[in-house]
Amino acid sequence: MTPLAGESCTTCKAGAPCVPVEERQALLDQLPGWLLISPDGVDQLEKVYPFQDFNQALDFANAVGELAQGANHHPAILVEWGKATITWWTHTIHGLHRNDFVMAAKTDYLHGK
Protein backbone atom coordinates (compact mmCIF):
# COMPACT_ATOMS: atom_id res chain seq x y z
CA MET A 1 0.00 0.00 0.00
CA THR A 2 1.40 3.42 -0.94
CA PRO A 3 1.75 6.06 1.80
CA LEU A 4 -1.01 8.09 0.15
CA ALA A 5 -3.36 5.10 0.12
CA GLY A 6 -2.57 4.55 3.78
CA GLU A 7 -3.80 7.98 4.79
CA SER A 8 -7.31 8.57 6.12
CA CYS A 9 -9.76 11.16 4.91
CA THR A 10 -10.10 14.21 7.14
CA THR A 11 -13.32 16.10 7.75
CA CYS A 12 -13.69 18.72 5.07
CA LYS A 13 -15.98 21.66 5.83
CA ALA A 14 -17.22 24.36 3.48
CA GLY A 15 -14.47 26.92 3.03
CA ALA A 16 -11.67 24.37 3.48
CA PRO A 17 -8.79 25.07 1.09
CA CYS A 18 -8.38 23.18 -2.16
CA VAL A 19 -5.00 21.52 -2.76
CA PRO A 20 -2.75 24.31 -4.09
CA VAL A 21 -1.92 23.94 -7.79
CA GLU A 22 1.80 23.74 -7.00
CA GLU A 23 1.23 20.69 -4.79
CA ARG A 24 -0.89 18.73 -7.25
CA GLN A 25 1.79 17.33 -9.57
CA ALA A 26 3.65 15.63 -6.71
CA LEU A 27 0.41 13.94 -5.70
CA LEU A 28 -0.53 13.05 -9.28
CA ASP A 29 2.92 11.47 -9.73
CA GLN A 30 1.76 8.90 -7.12
CA LEU A 31 -1.45 8.19 -9.07
CA PRO A 32 -0.62 6.43 -12.36
CA GLY A 33 -3.37 6.76 -14.97
CA TRP A 34 -5.33 9.45 -13.13
CA LEU A 35 -6.19 12.60 -15.05
CA LEU A 36 -6.93 16.04 -13.65
CA ILE A 37 -10.07 17.32 -15.40
CA SER A 38 -12.12 20.48 -14.80
CA PRO A 39 -15.69 20.10 -16.06
CA ASP A 40 -17.61 23.34 -15.46
CA GLY A 41 -14.50 24.66 -13.74
CA VAL A 42 -14.64 22.03 -10.98
CA ASP A 43 -11.24 20.30 -10.65
CA GLN A 44 -11.60 16.52 -10.43
CA LEU A 45 -9.49 13.36 -10.61
CA GLU A 46 -10.62 10.72 -13.09
CA LYS A 47 -9.42 7.26 -14.10
CA VAL A 48 -10.87 4.60 -16.42
CA TYR A 49 -10.34 1.00 -15.24
CA PRO A 50 -10.69 -1.69 -17.97
CA PHE A 51 -12.42 -5.02 -17.26
CA GLN A 52 -13.34 -8.22 -19.13
CA ASP A 53 -17.05 -7.47 -19.14
CA PHE A 54 -19.85 -5.49 -17.51
CA ASN A 55 -20.13 -7.74 -14.46
CA GLN A 56 -16.49 -7.29 -13.47
CA ALA A 57 -16.83 -3.53 -13.88
CA LEU A 58 -19.95 -3.58 -11.72
CA ASP A 59 -18.27 -5.64 -9.01
CA PHE A 60 -15.42 -3.12 -8.87
CA ALA A 61 -17.88 -0.24 -8.75
CA ASN A 62 -19.62 -1.84 -5.78
CA ALA A 63 -16.29 -2.30 -4.00
CA VAL A 64 -15.45 1.36 -4.59
CA GLY A 65 -18.87 2.23 -3.24
CA GLU A 66 -18.14 0.35 -0.03
CA LEU A 67 -14.79 2.11 0.23
CA ALA A 68 -16.58 5.44 -0.19
CA GLN A 69 -19.21 4.64 2.40
CA GLY A 70 -16.51 3.71 4.88
CA ALA A 71 -14.73 7.03 4.32
CA ASN A 72 -17.91 9.12 3.95
CA HIS A 73 -16.35 10.49 0.79
CA HIS A 74 -18.02 9.54 -2.48
CA PRO A 75 -17.00 9.48 -6.14
CA ALA A 76 -18.91 9.59 -9.34
CA ILE A 77 -18.91 6.08 -10.83
CA LEU A 78 -19.73 5.24 -14.44
CA VAL A 79 -20.13 1.53 -15.18
CA GLU A 80 -20.03 0.44 -18.83
CA TRP A 81 -19.37 -2.88 -20.57
CA GLY A 82 -15.65 -3.54 -20.04
CA LYS A 83 -14.81 -0.44 -17.99
CA ALA A 84 -15.54 1.60 -14.89
CA THR A 85 -14.79 5.32 -14.69
CA ILE A 86 -14.12 6.69 -11.20
CA THR A 87 -14.13 10.44 -10.58
CA TRP A 88 -13.16 12.04 -7.27
CA TRP A 89 -13.68 15.60 -6.13
CA THR A 90 -15.01 17.30 -2.99
CA HIS A 91 -18.51 18.67 -3.45
CA THR A 92 -18.28 20.86 -0.34
CA ILE A 93 -15.43 22.92 -1.78
CA HIS A 94 -16.24 22.42 -5.48
CA GLY A 95 -12.74 21.19 -6.12
CA LEU A 96 -9.87 18.98 -5.03
CA HIS A 97 -9.10 18.30 -1.38
CA ARG A 98 -6.27 16.04 -0.25
CA ASN A 99 -9.01 13.53 0.50
CA ASP A 100 -9.60 13.11 -3.22
CA PHE A 101 -5.97 12.15 -3.85
CA VAL A 102 -6.10 9.77 -0.88
CA MET A 103 -9.25 8.12 -2.16
CA ALA A 104 -7.81 7.84 -5.68
CA ALA A 105 -4.80 6.03 -4.18
CA LYS A 106 -7.12 3.77 -2.17
CA THR A 107 -9.08 3.06 -5.37
CA ASP A 108 -5.88 1.93 -7.10
CA TYR A 109 -5.00 -0.24 -4.10
CA LEU A 110 -8.47 -1.80 -4.16
CA HIS A 111 -8.13 -2.53 -7.89
CA GLY A 112 -4.76 -4.18 -7.36
CA LYS A 113 -5.94 -6.49 -4.58
Ligand X SMILES: C[C@H](O)[C@H](O)[C@H]1CNC2=NC(N)=NC(=O)C2=N1
Closest CA to 108 of 53, 47, 52, 28: 47
10 binds ligand X (CB under 6 A): no
Nearer to ligand X, 47 or 73 (CB): 73
- Tell me the C-alpha to C-alpha distance, in Å, between residue 32 and each of 44, 56, 57: 15, 21, 19
Q: How many residues bind ligand X (CB under 6 A)?
A: 6
Q: How far apart are CA 77 and CA 61, in angstroms?
A: 7
85 binds ligand X (CB under 6 A): no
Nearer to ligand X, 49 or 87 (CB): 87
Q: Which of 58, 92, 110, 111 binds ligand X (CB under 6 A)?
A: 92
Size of the chain, expressed as the number of residues it contains? 113
**Which positions from 14 through 73 interact with ligand X, judged by CB under 6 A?**
72-73
Helix (H, G, I), strand (E, B) or coil at 9: coil
Under the rule (CB under 6 A), what is the footprint of ligand X? 72-74, 90-92
